[in-house]
Structure 1
Amino acid sequence: MSLYRWALAVFFVLSIALCAAVFSFSARSPASHSPPNIGLTTDTSAEWVQETTCQQCHAEEYQQWHGSHHQRAMLVPDQESVRGAFTESEFRYENERYEFFQNEEQYFVRIESLSTAQSEVYPIAYTFGWEPLQQYLIETDKGRLQVLGVAWNTEKDQWFHLYEGFNVEDKHPLHWKQQSQNANTQCIECHTTGYQTDYSVKTERFESKWVALGVGCQACHGPASLHVDWAQADVADAPNKGFQRNVTVPGNAVAQLESCAQCHSRRTPLGQVQTNQGFHQNYLFSLLTSDLYEVDGKIKDEVFEYGSFLQSRMYQQGVVCSDCHNPHTAQLKLPGNATCTQCHNPVNALPREGIQRIARSTTNYNATTHHFHQQNSAGAECVNCHMPSKTYMGNDDRHDHSFSVPNPAQALQLGHSDACLTCHSGDPPASIVFAFNQRYPDYQPTDGGYAQTIHATRKGQPGAVDALLQQLGRNDLPPIRYAALLAEAEHYPAPQLYQVGVQSLQHQDPLVRRQALNFSASFLPSDQLQQVLAYLQGDGVRAVRVSAAEHAIEQAQQMGQTAPSNLTDELLTIQQELVGRPEAHYSLARLYQLQPNMLSATEQQQLVAFNLEHALRLAPNFTAALVASAEITEASSGALGIAELQAHVQQWPDNPDLHFALSLAQIRQGDLAAGINALTRAWQLAPENDYYAYVLAIGWHELGDVSKALDILRTQLNRSPRNRQIRLSLIEYLNVHDQAQAQERQLLLEQWQLVNPYDPLLQGYR
């Protein structure tokens, strides 16, 4: 037995012993977590009413809303709603020419391919948005509404392309013809009130419908029929005055935040939205991953506001959206800094009950002694320092809502953005840090070391695991950040972290429970994991149950077992409600593959094939479905399966996942050399993919080229120093009888000892 495998055995023994000690609740106690009490009623009889009904009693609010960005989110094109120049104006992008013109009351766009000289005219179906840009929807066929990539810049009065510099040709996933630009499934939900996708699998047609265009009263308050009944009957004791939820404050702050979060967050729907259910019943919320957020938690990708706000001290102290924004105009309640000084003022006044004060302060935040900038200048505005903005969609500046404090020294060290460095980009960074330290000599980071810890864990730096343990031991950490730390813990086997992970399965926040499950699944033995999954499948929050079911299905696949129907039923329901999306059909195919006992072999094959085919009709470049379909072909004919993948690679030569799938198929069919060639190409296209490098190194090692395997592992470890699998493989392949390699091996172990001294595998190398 090699030292590596001996150490692996030690690791499993230790993990089993630990789990037996800490997993005390086990399967005997079903999950007791109910959805958070956010003032929702369980009444499902409420119906939608015409938005104009609200005007009868709420004339002032209705007038404020009329003309707002919410009201104008999606409109029928006419002289009032269209902002773009449709006077035979022209715009060219890559290989396409767009001509915008008007014929009487109708608006059109002619799109011409410059390579084929073929063109097609589409009527503009709807306007999308108001400012700083306006987009346009066109109906192609079978009710499909697609979003044009060319939009109107309302500030510069000119056409522009949203993806300038991306080389978006017709096969590119961001091209207006592709599934990612299908408004029926991707966009309209948050630009209308009471939206239903209504896709027919039989006719392959969208019959999408809504109660009203634009984000109206009921989009936030819910269906209003029972409220109207309450108002007309003057019944004083109706819960929430007839609404399913109370989004006002004082009242239930969580209900308001979750109402706004429906659209102001990065999330995945869990089926058709149920208006009488909370956010985590309807959506799978995205966590603070490195592709979405900066290392200090500020927004990076297009994540909207909710994820950053949940990290803020404002959220922790009870501030809600309507404390700063007029919910009907969607504008700030007060001009300039006055919105902030409602709370941040030297007399310690607060605008309403329910907001908690951290500590009394006599600081005048609106004075030059605080911000050190000329009054009424950009540098004197609170938002420019504490809510720095990023530009999305070409010209749409959006503010970060974590309410961070500038820290130029840390920004330079960790590589995140910073308000001081951004505004003073023409000055030497060192001089900015010097000036900051002079003005704020007593400054301490306000995040308690969170950003430093996230950076250390992602870079595999010395002390990473100790820092993780310290952060996870805090009692003042926002749950969304706690969940982010648990996600990093997956990379560091350590009994101390395992204990935190198992205990976190009972955390009150569903985000934490979801991520605690992901973490626990990375180390728990099969029988212990089954107990965890049984426990969480009874969770009161749908997002947690869905995550548990996904893990249970994955475990069933790994063990060659079928998935019982009690695990798959809820997932089937969700995916069947989302059949306008190719991902839903892929998931359905996967679920049907795992239910052979409930279906005949013929039924199973037909359902799997049908859903994969339908996924590819919706999105011909959907990689997961392409690969799954080829694997089915390969099962009956290895040569045909490989030929199918080769055709896909030829059509999409820059897709690394297709090259990787081809390599695995070739290796399965015994052609290791061809598999390595395809795998090499996959790694060239995605050098950041550690798994590609790992498999490629194994391949070269199997062929006897140890030197090449070592070079690949060294290269990848330099890119991803925290990757334990790469490091241990390199240690295993190094020759202990070669002095230089033995020294390299020892150095790799010593480095990892500094990063994670609690790793059970290290015992095998001591």
Structure 2
Amino acid sequence: MFRSLLVAVLACISLAMPSLAQTGDTETGSADYVGSASCANCHEGEAKAWQGSHHALAWTLPTPETVLADFDDSEFNHDGVRYAFSRAGAQFRVTITEVDGSEKTHDIHSVAGIAPLQQYLIETEPGRLQSFDVVWDVDGARWYHLYPEQDLPPGDGLHWTGPYKNWNARCAECHATGFEKNYDAASDSYHSQQAEIGVGCEACHGPGSAHVTWAETARERSPQDPLLPPEGYGLAMDFNTAGTEAMIQQCAGCHSRREPMGQGNPIPGTPYHDAYTLSLLRPGLYHADGQILDEVYVYGSFLQSKMYQRGVGCLDCHEPHGATLRAEDNSLCTQCHSPAANPRFPSLKAALYDDPAHTFHPKGSAGAECKSCHMIERDYMGIDGRRDHSFRIPRPDLVAVTGGPDACTDCHADQDAGWAAAEIAKRYPDAAKRTHYGTVLAAGRADPVAAGPGLRILAQDRDQAGLVRATALWLLSQGGDANSAEFLAGLLEDDDPLVRAAAIGVQRAAPPQTRVQRLIPLLADPVRMVRIETAKAMLDAPIARLPARIEAQMQAAMTDWRRALAARVDFPETHMVMAGMALTMRNIPAARGAFRQVIAMDPQREEAWIMLARIAAAMDGPDATAGVLDEALEKLPHSAALNEMKRSVAEQ
């Protein structure tokens, strides 16, 4: 049933669906994975730094050395559920006693991370790994629940056995090397595999067999012989020649909030936007001014920074093999921000920053640390502090407009943003006069139509980060403004793929024929993300016939989109997309089936229930609608929207 439904939905874009197998994104060409141990003999220093690092121990098998938690008959209780941790020989176990008294014992399959917390994985059925929600606080030496304020009974999508906690789909590709998800929709099962658990050498450099061959034959050649192969010494990602932007994109593959387009690790060196769709500065993920809110990792923040715009890269601050900072104090920042400056960045002002005259705090105090003011920190997973990498100047004067946090009151918790703004005004009287994109985005969130003029100006401001401009375009697309579609059509040719992709959404408000004419060139865009967005926007376009060359481009773009969807069919979110796609094509049975698949995966998806009720109202009448709503309210009895729909149907 599930597979036939999927075929029906994807048939809405006029494509065959021969297989949901791996789409080729993890193919290694002529090279094979050989394992990190093969690298250590020649690269002893790098291997020594890597061993014991957060990358090397991102995913390990459970042993007395790797398991840091107390499994010596310890217990933890939460919301009436008892968790008992024990060992049986070499096996680590947890026994869960539910509220109803039912009890089940699970073996610990593997281990994720080493600090500040350690999480454990359980194989709930062959091949399916789930991330357990009771985790170990390494420094505090205690068990704790990741979501103590949430009621997550079995059957809830956010329960540790649910789809959002599935390791194969949500986590593994960034904790493994050469990972392939291998999800089979027909059996709803995983046959995942990887070259190596943990983030090994080949996770960043690419499959190593050709490089090993090159290294072995190099010993046999005289110094006069040419180096073979010349491109990257046989590695897919050559950090010696890649350049800063390619290095950043390589790190960003895991250090970003994004949707993957494939079912596993792309080959290192694959351009980011050919492998992932980056999340924009949307509500729930970021504050309106772009500061971190949800767990968005690093890339989206860094793209907003002036450091990124000036050519600073990840490796300027981070040592890649040990996954450590190059310095732990302000000297990390003063390698550039000092009277000596840094010749690599000629636009940087040479000045004394690590001084009370700049920090207004005693030297050596927490307030004098660069990161305290320019990299706010927020805790995720309960105790894991992550710093905002937008490296912004504190603007407490914007808090009332954007609702974002300010660094000053992070430390001065007994004060408010108004106090902080006044203190900064004493020192920098002109600071509040500087415009900030956060005010425009905040207005756009509140009312994208009224904020249209400001959003249009921001979208065209090439001094702003592409991610910011793309977010302005996304907000404009919510208003459905035909004038904006006309005014901003030139951004379909912008240099930044994020801007081009977001500009496509604005064109949905253009007259259908005009939209097609403007979007056709993007079917051949060099960036996969842009081609996919173009395919989405042309799905319902009034096209009778296209020239052969353009038709081929259209089919190729649709294939890219189909593959991206097929790679995520184990996500409830994907079935929401496919349901919307089926509605666009007026395929009501496929839409109904896709919404049903959403609630089968996650019964708490209110929006899916609402759409099922609306379809029933349109197609089947009041009695059927009432039946759907009764079914929905069993799962979501406190839903205001569903209860209101129920009352409305009863009054008919």
The TM-score by the shorter chain falls in which range?
Answer: 0.7 to 0.9
What is the aligned partner in structure 2 of residue 228 from structure 1? 212
Find 1:575's aligned residue among 560, 565, 576.
565
The 5-angstrom pairing of residues 666-685 of structure 1 reads 673-674=651-652
2:214 counterpart letter in structure 1: W
What is the aligned partner in structure 2 of residue 543 from structure 1? 529
What is the aligned partner in structure 2 of residue 443 from structure 1? 431
Q: Which secondary structure state, in structure 1, belongs to the residue aligned with residue 386 of structure 2?
A: strand
Question: 1:662-721: per-residue Cα shift (whole Å, max 9, x none)?
Answer: 66xx98xxx5845xxxxxxxxxxxxxxxxxxxxxxxxxxxxxxxxxxxxxxxxxxxxxxx
CA shift in 2, pair 1:102/1:430, >3 Å: same
The 5-angstrom pairing of residues 312-391 of structure 1 reads 312-350=305-343, 355-361=344-350, 363-391=351-379
CA shift in 2, pair 1:483/1:500, >3 Å: farther
Give 5+ residue unaligned stretches, structure 1: 1-39, 558-562, 675-766
1:99 counterpart letter in structure 2: A
Question: 1:48-97: per-residue Cα shift (whole Å, max 9, x none)?
Answer: 11111111211100110100111111111111111111111111111311
Distance, in Å, in 2 between the alignment partners of 1:112 and 1:477 is 54
Is the deviation greater in 481-490 or in 77-86?
A: 481-490
Are 2:448 and 1:421 equivalent residues in the alignment? no
Q: CA deviation at 1:589?
A: 6.8
CA shift in 2, pair 1:465/1:651, >3 Å: closer
CA shift in 2, pair 1:644/1:438, >3 Å: closer
CA shift in 2, pair 1:246/1:496, >3 Å: farther
1:581 counterpart letter in structure 2: F
Contact 1:246 1:255 in 2 (8 A): no
Q: CA deviation at 1:619?
A: 4.2
The 5-angstrom pairing of residues 186-265 of structure 1 reads 186-234=170-218, 235-248=227-240, 251-265=242-256
Distance, in Å, in 2 between the alignment partners of 1:169 and 1:227 is 50
TM-score, normalization by structure 1: 0.73
Question: 1:270-309: per-residue Cα shift (whole Å, max 9, x none)?
Answer: 1234315311111111101122112221111110000000
2:406 counterpart letter in structure 1: D
Q: CA deviation at 1:98?
A: 0.9
Find 2:281's aligned residue among 263, 280, 288.
288
Distance, in Å, in 2 between the alignment partners of 1:589 and 1:429 is 44
Larger gyration radius, structure 1 or structure 2: 1
What is the aligned partner in structure 2 of residue 394 from structure 1? 382
Distance, in Å, in 1 between the alignment partners of 2:472 and 2:448 is 15
The 5-angstrom pairing of residues 293-692 of structure 1 reads 293-350=286-343, 355-361=344-350, 363-427=351-415, 429-443=417-431, 448-460=435-447, 464-490=451-477, 497-521=484-508, 523-555=509-541, 568-584=558-574, 618-621=601-604, 637-638=620-621, 639-640=623-624, 642-655=626-639, 673-674=651-652
The structure with more helix, counted as a fraction of residues? 1
Q: Which secondary structure state, in structure 1, belongs to the residue aligned with residue 490 of structure 2?
A: helix
Are 2:127 and 1:143 equivalent residues in the alignment? yes
Contact 2:513 2:542 in 1 (8 A): no
Q: Which secondary structure state, in structure 1, belongs to the residue aligned with residue 105 of structure 2?
A: strand
Question: 1:91-150: per-residue Cα shift (whole Å, max 9, x none)?
Answer: 111131111111121111111112x11110000111111111111111111321111111
Contact 1:95 1:169 in 2 (8 A): no
Q: CA deviation at 1:428?
A: 5.3
2:47 counterpart letter in structure 1: Y
1:244 counterpart letter in structure 2: A
Contact 1:553 1:567 in 2 (8 A): no
What is the aligned partner in structure 2 of residue 20 from structure 1? none
Contact 1:291 1:300 in 2 (8 A): yes
The 5-angstrom pairing of residues 32-43 of structure 1 reads none
CA shift in 2, pair 1:295/1:200, >3 Å: closer
CA shift in 2, pair 1:451/1:616, >3 Å: closer
Distance, in Å, in 2 between the alignment partners of 1:470 and 1:588 is 34
Distance, in Å, in 2 between the alignment partners of 1:72 and 1:627 is 43
CA shift in 2, pair 1:520/1:635, >3 Å: closer
What is the aligned partner in structure 1 of residue 16 from structure 2? none
The 5-angstrom pairing of residues 26-175 of structure 1 reads 44-114=29-99, 116-175=100-159
Distance, in Å, in 1 between the alignment partners of 2:400 and 2:597 is 48
CA shift in 2, pair 1:263/1:324, >3 Å: same
Q: CA deviation at 1:222?
A: 1.6
Q: CA deviation at 1:472?
A: 3.8
Contact 2:259 2:277 in 1 (8 A): yes
Distance, in Å, in 1 between the alignment partners of 2:409 and 2:578 is 48
CA shift in 2, pair 1:494/1:267, >3 Å: closer
Distance, in Å, in 2 between the alignment partners of 1:595 and 1:524 is 19
CA shift in 2, pair 1:155/1:290, >3 Å: same
Distance, in Å, in 1 between the alignment partners of 2:91 and 2:98 is 23
Contact 2:512 2:542 in 1 (8 A): no
Distance, in Å, in 2 between the alignment partners of 1:337 and 1:285 is 31
CA shift in 2, pair 1:467/1:148, >3 Å: same
CA shift in 2, pair 1:481/1:339, >3 Å: same
Q: Which secondary structure state, in structure 2, belongs to the residue aligned with residue 336 of structure 1?
A: coil
Distance, in Å, in 2 between the alignment partners of 1:592 and 1:452 is 37
Distance, in Å, in 2 between the alignment partners of 1:430 and 1:594 is 48
Q: CA deviation at 1:228?
A: 1.9
Q: CA deviation at 1:394?
A: 0.5
Contact 2:456 2:488 in 1 (8 A): no
Task: Indicate the RMSD between aligned Cα atoms, in angstroms.
Answer: 3.3
Distance, in Å, in 1 between the alignment partners of 2:105 and 2:449 is 61
Q: CA deviation at 1:243?
A: 1.7
CA shift in 2, pair 1:567/1:631, >3 Å: farther
Distance, in Å, in 1 between the alignment partners of 2:297 and 2:530 is 23
Q: CA deviation at 1:356?
A: 2.7
The share of aligned pairs that are identical, in percent, is 33
What is the aligned partner in structure 2 of residue 747 from structure 1? none
Is the deviation greater in 543-552 or in 625-634?
A: 625-634
CA shift in 2, pair 1:582/1:449, >3 Å: closer
Q: Which secondary structure state, in structure 2, belongs to the residue aligned with residue 197 of structure 1?
A: coil
Contact 1:533 1:549 in 2 (8 A): no
Distance, in Å, in 2 between the alignment partners of 1:368 and 1:672 is 69
CA shift in 2, pair 1:84/1:511, >3 Å: same
Is the deviation greater in 223-232 or in 486-495?
A: 486-495
Contact 1:568 1:591 in 2 (8 A): no
What is the aligned partner in structure 2 of residue 757 from structure 1? none
Distance, in Å, in 1 between the alignment partners of 2:303 and 2:184 is 37
Aligned residue pairs total: 608
Q: Which secondary structure state, in structure 2, belongs to the residue aligned with residue 140 of structure 1?
A: strand
CA shift in 2, pair 1:553/1:672, >3 Å: farther
CA shift in 2, pair 1:624/1:450, >3 Å: closer
Distance, in Å, in 1 between the alignment partners of 2:576 and 2:400 is 43
Distance, in Å, in 1 between the alignment partners of 2:88 and 2:44 is 37
CA shift in 2, pair 1:499/1:526, >3 Å: closer
What is the aligned partner in structure 2 of residue 711 from structure 1? none
Distance, in Å, in 1 between the alignment partners of 2:39 and 2:582 is 46
Contact 2:91 2:107 in 1 (8 A): yes
Distance, in Å, in 1 between the alignment partners of 2:382 and 2:526 is 41
What is the aligned partner in structure 2 of residue 274 from structure 1? 266
